Amino acid sequence: MTERKAKRATIYDVATDAGVSITTVSRFLNNTESVKTATGTRIADAMEKLDYVPQGNAGSRANRSVGRIGVLTPFFPAPSFVQRLEGMIPILRQNNFEMVVYTIEGSEQLDEYLTSVPFTRRIDGLILMSVRLTAEQHRTLNASGLHVVMVESDDDNYSRVLADDYQGGEIAARLFLEKGYFPCAYIGDRNRDISYSLHPSDVRLKGFRETLNEVSSGLKNSMIIESDTTVESSRVVFGELLDRGDRPRAVFAMSDLQAIGVLKAARERDLRVPEDLAVLGFDDIESADWLGLSSITQHLGDSGRIAAGLLLERISGRSRAIQKVNLQVGLIERDTT
Protein backbone atom coordinates (compact mmCIF):
# COMPACT_ATOMS: atom_id res chain seq x y z
CA MET A 1 0.00 0.00 0.00
CA THR A 2 1.31 3.45 -0.93
CA GLU A 3 2.03 5.70 2.04
CA ARG A 4 -0.46 8.58 2.23
CA LYS A 5 1.08 11.94 1.29
CA ALA A 6 1.41 14.35 4.19
CA LYS A 7 -0.81 17.44 4.09
CA ARG A 8 1.02 20.53 2.83
CA ALA A 9 1.37 23.33 5.39
CA THR A 10 -0.57 26.51 4.60
CA ILE A 11 -0.10 30.17 5.41
CA TYR A 12 -2.76 29.71 8.10
CA ASP A 13 -0.59 27.06 9.79
CA VAL A 14 2.41 29.39 9.71
CA ALA A 15 0.40 32.28 11.19
CA THR A 16 -0.93 30.07 14.00
CA ASP A 17 2.47 28.61 14.84
CA ALA A 18 4.16 32.03 14.83
CA GLY A 19 1.34 33.64 16.82
CA VAL A 20 0.69 36.37 14.25
CA SER A 21 -2.04 37.30 11.76
CA ILE A 22 -2.21 36.02 8.19
CA THR A 23 -1.72 39.62 7.05
CA THR A 24 1.59 39.79 8.92
CA VAL A 25 2.80 36.55 7.29
CA SER A 26 1.74 37.88 3.89
CA ARG A 27 3.63 41.11 4.50
CA PHE A 28 6.74 39.14 5.51
CA LEU A 29 6.58 36.96 2.39
CA ASN A 30 6.44 39.97 0.09
CA ASN A 31 8.95 42.11 1.99
CA THR A 32 10.85 40.72 4.97
CA GLU A 33 11.76 44.23 6.11
CA SER A 34 8.10 45.21 6.50
CA VAL A 35 7.80 43.44 9.90
CA LYS A 36 9.81 43.72 13.10
CA THR A 37 12.94 41.57 13.31
CA ALA A 38 11.63 39.45 16.20
CA THR A 39 8.33 38.86 14.39
CA GLY A 40 10.13 37.95 11.18
CA THR A 41 12.28 35.48 13.06
CA ARG A 42 9.20 33.75 14.50
CA ILE A 43 7.63 33.53 11.05
CA ALA A 44 10.82 32.18 9.47
CA ASP A 45 11.18 29.60 12.27
CA ALA A 46 7.57 28.50 11.80
CA MET A 47 8.06 28.15 8.04
CA GLU A 48 11.15 26.00 8.58
CA LYS A 49 9.47 23.90 11.26
CA LEU A 50 6.39 23.26 9.10
CA ASP A 51 8.38 22.89 5.87
CA TYR A 52 6.18 25.61 4.39
CA VAL A 53 6.78 26.46 0.74
CA PRO A 54 5.22 29.76 -0.45
CA GLN A 55 2.75 29.18 -3.28
CA GLY A 56 1.28 31.30 -6.05
CA ASN A 57 1.75 35.00 -5.45
CA ALA A 58 4.08 34.86 -2.45
CA GLY A 59 7.56 36.20 -3.00
CA SER A 60 8.88 38.40 -5.74
CA ARG A 61 6.27 39.11 -8.41
CA ALA A 62 8.95 39.55 -11.04
CA ASN A 63 9.89 35.89 -10.80
CA ARG A 64 6.61 34.40 -11.81
CA SER A 65 3.39 34.90 -13.77
CA VAL A 66 0.62 32.34 -13.85
CA GLY A 67 -1.49 33.99 -16.56
CA ARG A 68 -4.65 34.20 -14.48
CA ILE A 69 -6.81 37.13 -13.34
CA GLY A 70 -9.31 36.93 -10.49
CA VAL A 71 -12.58 38.89 -10.53
CA LEU A 72 -14.42 39.45 -7.25
CA THR A 73 -18.08 40.45 -7.49
CA PRO A 74 -21.11 40.38 -5.17
CA PHE A 75 -23.74 40.17 -7.92
CA PHE A 76 -22.68 37.59 -10.48
CA PRO A 77 -24.51 36.60 -12.66
CA ALA A 78 -26.49 39.88 -12.78
CA PRO A 79 -26.67 41.01 -16.45
CA SER A 80 -24.76 44.26 -15.85
CA PHE A 81 -21.85 42.37 -14.33
CA VAL A 82 -21.87 39.73 -17.06
CA GLN A 83 -21.57 42.46 -19.70
CA ARG A 84 -18.56 43.90 -17.89
CA LEU A 85 -16.98 40.45 -17.88
CA GLU A 86 -17.66 40.16 -21.60
CA GLY A 87 -15.73 43.38 -22.08
CA MET A 88 -12.76 41.97 -20.17
CA ILE A 89 -12.50 38.61 -21.91
CA PRO A 90 -11.10 39.71 -25.34
CA ILE A 91 -8.42 41.86 -23.68
CA LEU A 92 -7.34 39.07 -21.36
CA ARG A 93 -7.41 36.48 -24.14
CA GLN A 94 -5.25 38.63 -26.43
CA ASN A 95 -2.66 38.78 -23.66
CA ASN A 96 -2.84 35.06 -22.82
CA PHE A 97 -4.58 35.51 -19.48
CA GLU A 98 -7.56 33.51 -18.27
CA MET A 99 -10.27 34.76 -15.90
CA VAL A 100 -11.53 33.22 -12.67
CA VAL A 101 -14.71 34.71 -11.16
CA TYR A 102 -15.27 34.59 -7.39
CA THR A 103 -18.77 35.45 -6.17
CA ILE A 104 -19.01 37.17 -2.79
CA GLU A 105 -22.00 36.03 -0.74
CA GLY A 106 -21.01 37.48 2.63
CA SER A 107 -18.41 39.63 4.38
CA GLU A 108 -16.73 36.56 5.87
CA GLN A 109 -16.32 35.09 2.41
CA LEU A 110 -14.78 38.35 1.20
CA ASP A 111 -12.29 38.17 4.08
CA GLU A 112 -11.49 34.57 3.13
CA TYR A 113 -10.90 35.49 -0.49
CA LEU A 114 -8.64 38.41 0.34
CA THR A 115 -6.48 36.31 2.63
CA SER A 116 -6.35 33.09 0.62
CA VAL A 117 -6.77 33.89 -3.09
CA PRO A 118 -3.24 35.29 -3.55
CA PHE A 119 -1.71 32.11 -2.16
CA THR A 120 -4.01 29.22 -2.99
CA ARG A 121 -5.66 30.28 -6.27
CA ARG A 122 -2.46 31.41 -7.99
CA ILE A 123 -3.51 34.66 -9.67
CA ASP A 124 -1.56 37.63 -10.99
CA GLY A 125 -4.08 40.36 -10.22
CA LEU A 126 -7.60 41.18 -9.07
CA ILE A 127 -10.50 43.18 -10.46
CA LEU A 128 -13.02 44.07 -7.75
CA MET A 129 -16.46 44.98 -9.08
CA SER A 130 -18.78 47.03 -6.84
CA VAL A 131 -16.86 46.04 -3.70
CA ARG A 132 -16.38 48.21 -0.62
CA LEU A 133 -13.30 47.37 1.48
CA THR A 134 -12.80 47.97 5.18
CA ALA A 135 -9.51 49.41 6.43
CA GLU A 136 -8.37 45.94 7.52
CA GLN A 137 -9.32 44.37 4.19
CA HIS A 138 -7.38 47.11 2.41
CA ARG A 139 -4.32 46.33 4.52
CA THR A 140 -4.68 42.62 3.78
CA LEU A 141 -4.98 43.21 0.05
CA ASN A 142 -2.08 45.63 0.04
CA ALA A 143 0.09 43.13 1.93
CA SER A 144 -0.66 40.42 -0.64
CA GLY A 145 1.31 42.30 -3.29
CA LEU A 146 -1.40 41.73 -5.88
CA HIS A 147 -2.08 44.23 -8.62
CA VAL A 148 -5.64 45.53 -8.18
CA VAL A 149 -8.17 47.51 -10.22
CA MET A 150 -11.58 48.60 -8.95
CA VAL A 151 -14.80 48.95 -10.95
CA GLU A 152 -17.45 51.33 -9.50
CA SER A 153 -15.59 51.87 -6.22
CA ASP A 154 -13.91 55.29 -6.01
CA ASP A 155 -11.02 54.13 -3.81
CA ASP A 156 -7.92 56.33 -3.98
CA ASN A 157 -5.66 53.36 -3.21
CA TYR A 158 -6.27 51.66 -6.56
CA SER A 159 -6.71 52.34 -10.23
CA ARG A 160 -10.43 52.38 -10.95
CA VAL A 161 -13.12 52.73 -13.60
CA LEU A 162 -16.19 54.73 -12.63
CA ALA A 163 -19.53 55.79 -14.10
CA ASP A 164 -21.26 59.02 -13.05
CA ASP A 165 -24.36 57.77 -11.21
CA TYR A 166 -25.38 61.29 -10.20
CA GLN A 167 -25.30 62.42 -13.82
CA GLY A 168 -27.46 59.44 -14.72
CA GLY A 169 -30.12 60.67 -12.32
CA GLU A 170 -29.85 64.16 -13.78
CA ILE A 171 -30.35 62.85 -17.32
CA ALA A 172 -33.44 60.89 -16.26
CA ALA A 173 -34.95 63.95 -14.57
CA ARG A 174 -34.29 66.22 -17.54
CA LEU A 175 -35.98 63.74 -19.88
CA PHE A 176 -39.11 63.72 -17.72
CA LEU A 177 -39.01 67.53 -17.39
CA GLU A 178 -38.71 67.95 -21.14
CA LYS A 179 -41.69 65.68 -21.82
CA GLY A 180 -43.84 66.90 -18.93
CA TYR A 181 -44.02 63.46 -17.33
CA PHE A 182 -45.47 64.36 -13.91
CA PRO A 183 -45.94 63.11 -11.31
CA CYS A 184 -42.99 60.75 -11.58
CA ALA A 185 -41.61 58.00 -9.35
CA TYR A 186 -38.30 56.37 -8.50
CA ILE A 187 -37.72 52.69 -7.68
CA GLY A 188 -34.42 52.00 -5.94
CA ASP A 189 -32.52 49.15 -4.33
CA ARG A 190 -33.55 48.23 -0.77
CA ASN A 191 -30.55 45.98 -0.05
CA ARG A 192 -28.55 48.44 2.05
CA ASP A 193 -27.52 45.80 4.59
CA ILE A 194 -24.81 44.41 2.28
CA SER A 195 -21.85 46.10 3.95
CA TYR A 196 -19.24 44.92 1.43
CA SER A 197 -21.10 46.24 -1.61
CA LEU A 198 -21.63 49.70 -3.04
CA HIS A 199 -25.09 51.27 -3.29
CA PRO A 200 -25.35 53.37 -6.45
CA SER A 201 -29.13 53.59 -6.03
CA ASP A 202 -28.81 56.44 -3.52
CA VAL A 203 -26.53 58.49 -5.79
CA ARG A 204 -28.83 58.03 -8.79
CA LEU A 205 -31.80 59.10 -6.67
CA LYS A 206 -29.90 62.18 -5.48
CA GLY A 207 -29.19 63.34 -9.03
CA PHE A 208 -32.78 62.60 -10.07
CA ARG A 209 -34.39 64.31 -7.10
CA GLU A 210 -32.21 67.43 -6.99
CA THR A 211 -32.74 68.05 -10.70
CA LEU A 212 -36.51 67.61 -10.39
CA ASN A 213 -36.52 70.03 -7.47
CA GLU A 214 -35.64 72.75 -9.96
CA VAL A 215 -39.37 72.81 -10.76
CA SER A 216 -42.21 73.19 -8.28
CA SER A 217 -43.59 69.66 -8.62
CA GLY A 218 -40.36 67.92 -7.57
CA LEU A 219 -40.43 64.29 -6.39
CA LYS A 220 -42.85 63.30 -3.63
CA ASN A 221 -41.62 60.97 -0.88
CA SER A 222 -44.64 58.75 -1.54
CA MET A 223 -43.30 58.19 -5.06
CA ILE A 224 -39.94 56.84 -3.89
CA ILE A 225 -40.13 53.08 -3.45
CA GLU A 226 -37.61 50.26 -3.12
CA SER A 227 -37.37 46.63 -4.19
CA ASP A 228 -34.78 43.92 -4.69
CA THR A 229 -32.95 44.34 -7.99
CA THR A 230 -34.99 41.58 -9.62
CA VAL A 231 -37.85 41.57 -12.12
CA GLU A 232 -40.26 39.79 -9.78
CA SER A 233 -39.61 41.93 -6.72
CA SER A 234 -40.03 45.19 -8.63
CA ARG A 235 -43.18 43.84 -10.33
CA VAL A 236 -44.78 43.23 -6.94
CA VAL A 237 -43.60 46.46 -5.29
CA PHE A 238 -44.52 48.72 -8.21
CA GLY A 239 -47.83 46.92 -8.59
CA GLU A 240 -48.63 47.86 -4.99
CA LEU A 241 -47.93 51.51 -5.81
CA LEU A 242 -50.24 51.37 -8.82
CA ASP A 243 -52.97 49.74 -6.76
CA ARG A 244 -52.90 52.61 -4.25
CA GLY A 245 -54.53 54.71 -6.92
CA ASP A 246 -51.88 57.46 -6.85
CA ARG A 247 -50.44 56.48 -10.20
CA PRO A 248 -47.28 58.20 -11.51
CA ARG A 249 -47.02 59.35 -15.10
CA ALA A 250 -43.43 58.06 -15.37
CA VAL A 251 -40.96 56.00 -13.37
CA PHE A 252 -37.15 55.94 -13.28
CA ALA A 253 -35.78 52.57 -12.12
CA MET A 254 -32.23 52.27 -10.76
CA SER A 255 -31.68 49.15 -12.90
CA ASP A 256 -33.06 47.71 -16.10
CA LEU A 257 -34.17 44.55 -14.29
CA GLN A 258 -36.41 46.65 -12.07
CA ALA A 259 -37.67 48.59 -15.07
CA ILE A 260 -38.68 45.29 -16.69
CA GLY A 261 -40.59 44.42 -13.51
CA VAL A 262 -42.36 47.78 -13.79
CA LEU A 263 -43.33 46.97 -17.39
CA LYS A 264 -44.83 43.66 -16.26
CA ALA A 265 -46.83 45.36 -13.49
CA ALA A 266 -48.15 47.92 -16.00
CA ARG A 267 -49.12 45.21 -18.48
CA GLU A 268 -51.01 43.29 -15.78
CA ARG A 269 -53.12 46.43 -15.20
CA ASP A 270 -53.65 47.16 -18.90
CA LEU A 271 -51.63 50.37 -18.80
CA ARG A 272 -50.21 51.57 -22.10
CA VAL A 273 -46.48 52.31 -22.28
CA PRO A 274 -45.57 55.11 -22.76
CA GLU A 275 -49.01 56.67 -23.26
CA ASP A 276 -50.18 55.94 -19.68
CA LEU A 277 -46.85 55.22 -18.04
CA ALA A 278 -43.35 56.05 -19.26
CA VAL A 279 -40.54 53.76 -18.03
CA LEU A 280 -36.80 54.45 -17.90
CA GLY A 281 -34.13 52.03 -16.65
CA PHE A 282 -30.41 52.18 -15.96
CA ASP A 283 -27.52 50.02 -17.31
CA ASP A 284 -28.69 49.40 -20.90
CA ILE A 285 -28.30 45.63 -20.61
CA GLU A 286 -28.72 43.59 -23.79
CA SER A 287 -32.37 42.74 -23.09
CA ALA A 288 -33.25 46.45 -22.89
CA ASP A 289 -32.66 46.72 -26.63
CA TRP A 290 -34.96 43.92 -27.74
CA LEU A 291 -37.61 44.96 -25.19
CA GLY A 292 -37.54 48.53 -26.50
CA LEU A 293 -36.73 49.78 -22.99
CA SER A 294 -35.33 53.28 -22.67
CA SER A 295 -32.28 53.26 -20.42
CA ILE A 296 -29.30 55.21 -19.09
CA THR A 297 -26.17 53.56 -20.44
CA GLN A 298 -22.98 53.37 -18.39
CA HIS A 299 -21.08 51.54 -21.16
CA LEU A 300 -20.71 48.26 -19.29
CA GLY A 301 -18.56 46.54 -21.90
CA ASP A 302 -16.20 49.51 -22.08
CA SER A 303 -15.79 49.59 -18.29
CA GLY A 304 -14.78 45.92 -18.29
CA ARG A 305 -12.41 46.38 -21.22
CA ILE A 306 -10.72 49.40 -19.62
CA ALA A 307 -10.43 47.72 -16.22
CA ALA A 308 -8.73 44.70 -17.78
CA GLY A 309 -6.35 46.96 -19.70
CA LEU A 310 -5.39 48.94 -16.60
CA LEU A 311 -4.69 45.74 -14.69
CA LEU A 312 -2.53 44.25 -17.43
CA GLU A 313 -0.52 47.49 -17.62
CA ARG A 314 0.27 47.18 -13.92
CA ILE A 315 1.10 43.48 -14.15
CA SER A 316 3.46 44.05 -17.09
CA GLY A 317 5.12 46.99 -15.38
CA ARG A 318 4.18 49.38 -18.20
CA SER A 319 2.42 51.61 -15.69
CA ARG A 320 2.77 52.02 -11.93
CA ALA A 321 0.57 55.09 -11.66
CA ILE A 322 -2.83 54.91 -9.98
CA GLN A 323 -5.31 55.90 -12.69
CA LYS A 324 -8.92 57.03 -12.45
CA VAL A 325 -11.12 56.65 -15.53
CA ASN A 326 -14.53 58.36 -15.50
CA LEU A 327 -17.01 57.07 -18.09
CA GLN A 328 -19.78 59.40 -19.17
CA VAL A 329 -23.31 58.04 -18.94
CA GLY A 330 -25.91 58.76 -21.60
CA LEU A 331 -29.54 58.35 -22.59
CA ILE A 332 -30.63 55.55 -24.93
CA GLU A 333 -34.23 56.39 -25.70
CA ARG A 334 -36.46 53.64 -27.07
CA ASP A 335 -40.18 52.84 -27.04
CA THR A 336 -40.95 53.10 -23.32
CA THR A 337 -40.49 56.87 -22.99
Query: Position 11: which residue type?
Result: I
Which range has the worst mean pLDDT, 26-35, 127-136, 259-268, 328-337? Answer: 26-35
Give residue-wise pLDDT tens across range 168-196. 999 999 999 999 999 999 999 987 666 66
Whether residue 117 has pLDDT greater than 70: no
Domains of the chain: 11-50 (no CATH), 65-163+301-327 (3.40.50.2300), 165-299 (3.40.50.2300)
Tell which wins on pLDDT, 98 or 28: 98
* High-pLDDT (> 90) share of the chain, %: 55
Of the listed ranges 6-15, 66-75, 247-256, the one predicted with least confidence:
6-15
- Is residue 243 scored above 70 in pLDDT? yes
User: For residue 64, what pLDDT band results from cuts at 50, 70 and 90?
Assistant: low
Average pLDDT over residues 33-51: 81
10 Å Cβ neighbour count for 175? 20
Lowest mean pLDDT across 75-84, 228-237, 246-255: 75-84
Query: Each residue of 6-45: b (16+ CB within 10 Å) or e?
Result: eeebbbebbbebbebebbbbbbbbbeeeebeeebbebbee
274 three-class SS: coil
With helix as H, strand as E and coil as C, how does 136-152 read? Answer: HHHHHHHHHCCEEEEEC
* Amino acid identity for residue 196 in this structure: Y
Does residue 137 carry a pLDDT above 70?
yes
Average pLDDT, rounded, for the chain: 87
Three-state SS at 278: strand
Position 57 scores a pLDDT of 43
**Does the pLDDT value for residue 262 go beyond 80?**
yes
Flag whether pLDDT at 58 surpasses 80.
Answer: no
User: Residue 8: its pLDDT value, please?
Assistant: 65
Q: What's the average model confidence in pLDDT over 295-309?
A: 96
User: Rounded mean pLDDT of 84-107?
Assistant: 90
What sign for the dihedral angle of Cα 32, 35, 37, 40?
negative
Highest mean pLDDT among 14-28, 124-138, 161-175: 161-175
Quick one: average pLDDT of 247-258?
A: 97
Residue 178's contacts (CB-CB under 8 Å, 6 or more residues apart) are: none
Q: What is the mean pLDDT of residues 1-6?
A: 41
- What confidence score (pLDDT) does residue 73 get? 87
Output the pLDDT for position 61: 43
pLDDT in tens, 203-224: 999 999 999 998 767 899 999 9
pLDDT of residue 106: 79
- Which pLDDT score, from 0 to 100, does residue 56 have? 46
Examine the pLDDT at 30 and tell me if it is beyond 70: no
